[in-house]
Chains A and B, each alone.
Chain A
Amino acid sequence: MADVLRGLGVSAGAAAGPALRMGRVPRLPAPRTVTDQAAERAAAREALDQVGRELAERAARAADPAARAILEAQALIAKDPMLAESCDGAIGAGLDAAHAVHTAFTQQADGLRAAGGYLAERAADLEDLRDRAVAWLLGEPMPGIPDPGHPFVLIADDLAPADTATLDPRRVLALVTARGGPTSHTAILARALGLPAVVACQEALAVEDGTLIHIDGDTGAVTLHVTAAVIAETAAETAGSPAESFAGPGRTADGHRVPLLLNIGSADDLPADAATDVEGVEGVGLLRTELLFLGRHDAPGLDEQREAYTRVFRALPGRRVVLRTLDAGADKPLPFLSLADEPNPALGIRGLRTSRTRPEVLETQLAAVAEAAAAADADVWVMAPMVSTAREAADFAARVRAHGLSKVGAMIEVPAAALRAAQILEHVDFLSIGTNDLGQYTMAADRQCGELADLLDPWQPALLDLIASCARAGKAAGKPVGVCGEAASDPWLACVLVGLGISSLSMSRAAVARVGARLSRYSYGDCVRLAESALAAADAAAARAAVTSAS
């Protein structure tokens, strides 16, 4: 294996430490013919002991009493003599150790499930223990996120939302995944936690546990077999930056102002001291309002919405808050909208389009926003997702203004809207570019499709071309054009966006310090030159390389 592996850097920063792979649920190979039953019995016992010991060690380290109790109970089950006997029985019937463990645990789990009540709740524990013991017997990594008791770089095929619940950001230094793309769950999680991450690095799965590696979340380089000195240096650099070097507000080295804003889902995402200082942040660039609606069978009423929006507005007196109206569709289904199943949800009734069939949902939302805005003194801007035409933008603007809200915008996620940005700006006061969706629609590549990660790379020159054309339209109209997609949280790309003429950048809180610090080191002229070199590149990788090597 080469000493440097290449992937896509999707969350900025560097980290170094021992690599540990996350195991998947092991798949049983074909049964082996057993020649020595005593050896199989010993192997099965050893596997159960090993799993029990590991869980007991984790229990001893667990700080939280509830977590400790769960781990202790699991360790106790692993040591249960009934299970050991049941394994012996299966081996006596001719199975090898892995199949015997699998059979014994599955039978027991099925029995518990059939018993119902609190016994059924233990069935999942047994299946988890079974998978751990079988993985040990097959020489595979333990399923789930490892917990070795020291910091490590997590290597995984890909991360599922459920995995993230057990991911401890104090232990995990960085993420490297074989699959995934810039907008995959792993990437979004990494940026939210401020962890450097490299995705689409297929060779990473072959890295042996314990190998000392260095990962660069900017360039996507994963360097193997680094020295302890490199690890210490990287740790020192990470500790010294970036929060100390950035106090805000967002600006280039020569003072060109670029407001840095936050992407949030509700007031809970704001720091407690939002009103006084949010690490150089000047407001909210994307308030996603779906959180209020997700999982609901009926739309939240006017009062409930007003209260939720008021909480956000009151937390940010005098600051900008850009609220995006309901962004739902068959991909983010909301039961009360009762949208039909669509063969291609990304191209179906979503975003602003839902107001074609359910205009009253948008009306209620706008009424709630207007009342909340009147009850606080935040600078409230309202924008619609998935605008495709100037006509849609004009209709939306009229509806928003009818509620007495003065700042109306359109999100640019559809290439048609990007191409007609000038016409859309005749009707609205600002544009906000959602680079994730604009990328998927421009490249005709599904955001969920990890194999197309290279096409979904926000450095794609075609995407940058569309962003540049929107920025030009904004300049000509004298109206702001911001970016609120994941592209804004990549420090190098943020400099490019500023060079393209983007007027504000909105991102997760964890990205602000890095982006702000990077931007403050380059003049506006530098950013323009970086943007030119990115636009001149043949593809995304070349664009990134041109910018990162020019510095």
Chain B
Amino acid sequence: MPERTVTVASSSGLHARPAAMFVKAAAAQPVPVKLRIGDGPAADARSILAVLALRVEHGTAVTLSTGAEDGPAAHEALNTLADLLSRDLDAEPANG
């Protein structure tokens, strides 16, 4: 079961614009991705409401998972989303 754990770098955590950017990127992946904190409940990464409900703060370690989906597409999706979470999206220009 492919998973990646990454620390959220955005200064506001996973709220507002960083959350919107993350959800949009997740929706663009060919495989469904889930997001959780530690052993907590997993949220559908394509659902802005579910992601916001996790209340992820700056510096929190979160785990991305593709569940039963394996293979190159799943790994590529995890890489893309992990990369996004490890950047400070609040510090990047709005048109990104």
**Chain A residues near B (Cβ < 8 Å):** 65, 68-69, 72-73, 76-77, 79-83, 108, 112, 115, 117-119, 122
Q: Which of A68, A80, A115, A119 has the most CB of B within 10 A?
A: A80
Does any Cβ of A come within 8 Å of B53's Cβ? yes
Q: Determine the chain B residues whose CB is within 8 A of the CB of A80 once the complex forms.
A: 46-50
Flag if B49 contacts A72 (CB, 8 Å).
no
Alpha-carbon separation in the docked complex, A82 to B32 (Å): 13
Does any Cβ of A come within 8 Å of B84's Cβ? no
Count how many chain B residues have C-beta atoms less than 8 Å from C-beta atoms of the other chain. 17
What residues of chain A lie closer than 8 Å to B31, measured between beta carbons? Answer: none
Q: Establish whether residues A73 and B20, one from each chain, have CB atoms under 8 Å apart when the complex forms.
A: yes
**How far is B55's CA from A516's CA once the two chains are assembled, in angstroms?**
60
Q: Give, as a whole number of angstroms, the nearest-CB distance from A507 to chain B.
A: 42
- A118/B15 contact (C-beta < 8 A), A69-B94, A76-B23 known: yes
- Flag if B47 contacts A82 (CB, 8 Å): yes
- Compute how far the CA of A354 lies from the CA of B12 in the bound complex, rounded to whole angstroms: 50
Q: How far is the CA of A293 from the CA of B94 in the complex (A)?
A: 40
Chain A residues in 8 Å Cβ range of B49: 77, 80, 82-83, 108, 112, 122
Within the assembled complex, what's the spacing in Å between the Cα atoms of A502 and B17? Answer: 58
B48 touches A73 (CB 8 A): yes
Interface of A is mostly: helix
- Within 8 Å by CB of A81, from B17, B46, B53, B94, lies B46
Query: Are the CB atoms of A77 and B15 closer together than 8 Å?
Result: no
Type the 1/0 row for B20-55, where 1 means its CB is closer than 8 Å to any CB of A: 100110010000000000000000101111101101
Q: Within 8 Å CB of B16, what residues of A?
A: 69, 73
Task: Say yes or no: A76 contacts B53, CB within 8 Å.
Answer: no
* A72 and B20 form a contact (CB under 8 A): yes
How far is A83 from B52 in the complex, measured between Cα atoms in Å? 14
A115 and B54 CA atoms in complex are apart in Å by 11
A140→B49 CA distance, assembly (Å) = 27
**Which of A69, A82, A83, A122 has a CB less than 8 Å from the CB of B17?**
A69
With a cutoff of 8 Å between Cβ atoms, the chain A residues found around residue B24 in the complex are 76
Contacts of B46 in A (CB 8 A): 80-81
In the complex, what's the smallest C-beta–C-beta distance from B96 to chain A, in angstroms?
Answer: 12
Expressed in whole angstroms, the minimum distance between the Cβ of B50 and any Cβ of chain A is 6
| Structural contact, A76 and B20, CB atoms closer than 8 A | yes
Q: By the criterion CB–CB under 8 Å, are B94 and A82 in contact?
A: no
CB distance from A220 to the nearest CB of B (A): 46
Residues of B within 8 A of A118 (CB): 15, 52
Within 8 A of A (CB), among B63-96: 94
Taken together as a complex, chains A and B put the C-alpha atoms of A81 and B27 apart, in Å, by 10
Q: What is the bound-complex CA distance between A81 and B53, given in angstroms?
A: 14
Q: Give chain A nearest CB distance to B51 CB in angstroms.
A: 10
- Report how far A80 CA is from B23 CA in the complex, Å: 9
What B residues does A68 contact at CB under 8 A?
A: 94
The answer to whether A115 touches B53 (Cβ under 8 A) is yes
Q: Which residues of B contact A79 (CB under 8 A)?
A: 27
Complex contacts, B48 vs chain A, CB 8 Å: 73, 76-77, 80
The answer to whether B52 touches A65, judged by C-beta atoms less than 8 angstroms apart, is no
